[in-house]
Amino acid sequence: MEKLHEKKLKMLEETAADLRRAVIEMVSHAGSGHIAGPLGMADIFSALYFHALTHNPKRPQWPLRDRLVLSNGHICPIQYAALAHAGYFPVQELMTLRQLGTRLQGHPHRGALPGVETTSGPLGSGLSQACGMALAARLDRARHRVYCLMSDGEHQEGNLWEAAMFAARHRLANLTAIVDRNNIQIDGMTEDVMPLESLRAKYEAFNWHVLEVDGHNIEQFVDALHEARAIYERPTVIIAHTIPGKGVDFMEFDYRWHSKPFKKGEAAQAIAELRTLKKTIVSEHE
């Protein structure tokens, strides 16, 4: 992973805006699917697939690639958009999301689409799968890293904490977990539904190295990924504070957009707002 310079940063922010637009088009065309989470994670996906990950879209099975597990599989529209824009498959195919016969299943399925490492979606189990991949890498004396993306709500699953114990017990330093801390879940705000705080203290108690970043600040996030690589003997978790629905004013911070479909005109309005966002990125870097 090279150092992030100004020009690259601008490119990553613009790419994030493009991914957001793709997500809105995909979900609105599909008529169902999750929207707030994918929009909130666009900056992180841009940073991962267009800067941080060691990968080769032309060789999805390249053995030396970093592995990415999307534990909160319901935000897969943003991963699909990133994979397509990175060159894993044609961008036009994004519009087949959730349709019969598509490679873009409603939740990620291994073998269905190049770049999807494993099947995921039922919450709380992705971190365990990532642990298995990290153990395999160690057995093979391979240098690649394993990344696991999780939602905050899925920390209510017991399975996840079993995995957190396991990763620390087996000193999986080649594993970096990234938590989308957007404070919403289907039934409301996480702290009302089933409080997660202090999430940092919980991970620290489980003997993880814990970092917290602004999930929309790509520089901060990339710095955290660098720091995680320098931590030996322990896995690292990056708690990324994000705004659900980021980039679309009427969706931001509103938990009801976790998975509700667009009404007529809403998608067009959202895309119009994203154009403003992209112009802001350009002017900020000038």
Q: Which positions lie near other proteins, rule CB under 8 A?
A: 67, 69, 109-111, 117-122, 124-126, 128-137, 139-140, 158-159, 162-163, 165-166, 169-170
**Residue 207 or 217: which CB sits closer to other proteins?**
207
C-alpha 200, offset from chain centre: 19
Q: Using the CB atoms, write b or e for 107-119: b if 16+ within 10 Å.
A: bbbeeebebbbbb
Which of 37, 126 has the CB closer to other proteins? 126
- The nearest distance, CB 150 to other proteins, in angstroms, is 13
CB of 173 to other proteins, least distance (A): 16
CB of 136 to other proteins, least distance (A): 3
CB of 171 to other proteins, least distance (A): 12
b/e sequence 1-29, b meaning 16+ C-beta within 10 Å: eeebeeeebbbbbbbbbbbbbbbbbbbbb
Sequence-ordered list of residues with C-beta below 8 angstroms from that of 17, at least 6 positions apart, any chain: 42, 247, 274, 277, 278, 281
Cβ proximity to other proteins, 14 vs 162, nearer residue: 162
Q: Which one, 69 or 94, has the nearer CB to other proteins?
A: 69
| Enclosing H/E stretch for 7 | helix 6-30
Residue 50 CB, nearest distance to other proteins (Å)?
A: 24
Residue 40 or 126: which CB sits closer to other proteins? 126
The single-letter DSSP state of residue 50 is I
Minimum Å distance from CB 29 to other proteins? 26
Ranges assigned E (strand) in 1-132: 67-70
> Closest CB to other proteins among 46 and 79?
79
Separation of alpha carbons 51 and 14, rounded Å: 13
* Neighbouring C-beta atoms of residue 37, cutoff 10 Å: 27
> Which conformational region is residue 14 in: left (phi greater than 0), alpha (psi within -120 to 50 degrees), or beta?
alpha
Residue 246 Cβ vs other proteins, minimum distance, rounded to whole Å: 29
- Judged by beta carbon, residue 100 or residue 139, the one nearer other proteins is 139
Q: Which is nearer to other proteins, 10 or 170 (CB)?
A: 170
Tokens of 234: 């322990």
180, containing H or E segment: strand 175-181
| Alpha carbons 184 and 258: distance in angstroms, whole number | 7
Q: Which residues pair with 70 in a beta bridge?
A: 149
- Minimum distance from residue 134 beta carbon to other proteins (Å): 8
